[in-house]
Amino acid sequence: MDAATLRAVSSVVVPDPKALPLVIAVTGHRDLVPSEVPGIRDQVRTFLHKLQHLYPDRRLRVMSPLAEGADRLVAECALELDIDLTVPLPMRKDLYLDDFVTAESRSQFKMLCARASEIFELPLTRGATEGQLSSPGPARSRQYAQLGVFLCAHCHILLAVWDGKWTDDLGGTGQVVKFHHDDIMPGYTSRSVATQQMLVDDESDLVYHIVCSRDRADGAPLEGLAPLEGYWFSNDSARPRSSEIPPQHRLIFERSGEFSRDAIRFADEIEAGKYPLFDEQQRADLPPGVEDINRLFCVADWLAIRYQQKTLLALRASHILAFLMGLMFILYMDIESWPYFMLAFLVFFLVAAGLQTLGQRRGWHRKYLDYRTLAEGLRVQFYWAVGGVANENVSKFAHDNFLQTQDSELGWIRNVMRVAGTRCDVQSNKAQAGLDFVLGEWIGDADSGQLGYFAKKAVDRIARNRLTERLGQLSLLTSVAVVLTFVVMGSGMPDTLISPLTVMMGTLLLLYGIRQGYGYATGEKELIKQYQFMHRIFQNARQRLDKTNDPVEQRLILRALGGSALDEHAEWLLMHRDRSVDQGEIWRMSS
The 10s digit of each residue's pLDDT in 439-458 is 999 998 888 889 999 899 88
Burial of 407 (0-12, 13-18, 19+ CB in 10 A): exposed
The 10s digit of each residue's pLDDT in 474-492 is 877 877 787 777 777 776 7
What does CATH list as the number for 3-247? 3.40.50.450
pLDDT band at 393 (very low <50, low <70, confident <90, very high): low
**Residue pair 29/70 in contact by the 8 Å Cβ criterion:** yes
The 10s digit of each residue's pLDDT in 205-247 is 899 999 999 999 889 999 999 999 999 998 887 788 999 998 8
Backbone angles phi, psi at 139, to 5 degrees: -65, -45
**Residue pair 559/566 in contact by the 8 Å Cβ criterion:** no
Q: Return the bridge partners of 241, or none.
A: 233
Q: In this predicted structure, what is the pLDDT of residue 7?
A: 45
Q: In this predicted structure, what is the pLDDT of residue 306?
A: 95
Amino acid at 542: R
pLDDT at 186 over 70: yes
What order do you get walking across the sheet with 241-242 strand by strand? Answer: 118-121, 84-89, 58-63, 20-28, 157-162, 207-211, 230-233, 241-242
pLDDT at 591 over 60: no
**Residue pair 289/385 in contact by the 8 Å Cβ criterion:** yes
The 10s digit of each residue's pLDDT in 4-42 is 444 444 455 556 778 899 999 999 999 999 999 999 999
The 10s digit of each residue's pLDDT in 97-109 is 988 989 999 999 9
User: Side-chain half-sphere of 74: how many Cα atoms within 13 Å?
Assistant: 34
Q: How far is CA 190 from CA 300, 395, 396, in A?
A: 34, 9, 11
Dump the DSSP string for 147-201: HHHHHHHT-SEEEEEE-S-----TTSHHHHHHHHHHS--TTTS-GGG-SGGGGS-
* Model pTM score: 0.87
522: closest CA among 454, 457, 453? Answer: 457
More confident residue, 119 or 327: 119
Dump the DSSP string for 501-531: HHHHHHHHHHHHHHHHHHHHHTTHHHHHHHH
Strand, coil or helix: 340: helix
Per the document, the length of the chain is 591
3-state secondary structure 72-136: HHHHHHHHHCCCEEEEEECCCHHHHHHHCCCHHHHHHHHHHHHHCCEEEECCCCCCCCHHHHHCC
d(CA 187, CA 190): 8
d(CA 106, CA 6): 29
Q: Please give the DSSP secondary-structure letter assigned to residue 392.
A: S
pLDDT at 426 over 80: yes
Q: In this predicted structure, what is the pLDDT of residue 485?
A: 77
The 10s digit of each residue's pLDDT in 354-370 is 888 898 899 898 899 99
d(CA 139, CA 462): 58
The 10s digit of each residue's pLDDT in 275-294 is 999 988 888 889 888 999 99
The 10s digit of each residue's pLDDT in 120-176 is 999 988 888 888 888 888 889 999 999 999 999 899 999 999 999 988 888 899 999
Dump the DSSP string for 230-288: EEEE-S-SS-SEESS--HHHHHHHHHHHHHHHHHHHTHHHHHHH---SS-HHHHTTSPT
Q: Return the bridge partners of 118, or none.
A: 86
pLDDT band at 408 (very low <50, low <70, confident <90, very high): low
pLDDT at 183 over 90: no
The 10s digit of each residue's pLDDT in 506-556 is 777 777 777 777 777 777 788 888 889 999 999 999 999 999 999 999 999
Q: What is the mean pLDDT of residues 255-281?
A: 93
376: closest CA among 184, 568, 139? Answer: 568
Q: Please give the DSSP secondary-structure letter assigned to residue 222.
A: P
Q: Return the bridge partners of 73, or none.
A: none
Which sequence spans correspond to the domains of the chain? 3-247, 280-390+428-590
Q: How far is CA 117 from CA 62, 82, 156, 250, 461, in A?
A: 10, 11, 18, 28, 47
pLDDT at 112 over 90: yes
d(CA 182, CA 191): 13
Share of the chain above pLDDT 90, in %: 43
Average pLDDT, the chain: 85
Dump the DSSP string for 404-452: TTS-GGGHHHHHHHHHHTTTTTTS----HHHHHHHIIIII--TTSHHHH
Backbone angles phi, psi at 58, to 5 degrees: -115, 155
d(CA 182, CA 7): 39
d(CA 356, CA 351): 9
User: Side-chain half-sphere of 256: how many Cα atoms within 13 Å?
Assistant: 31
219: closest CA among 68, 30, 43? Answer: 30
Q: In this predicted structure, what is the pLDDT of residue 230?
A: 94
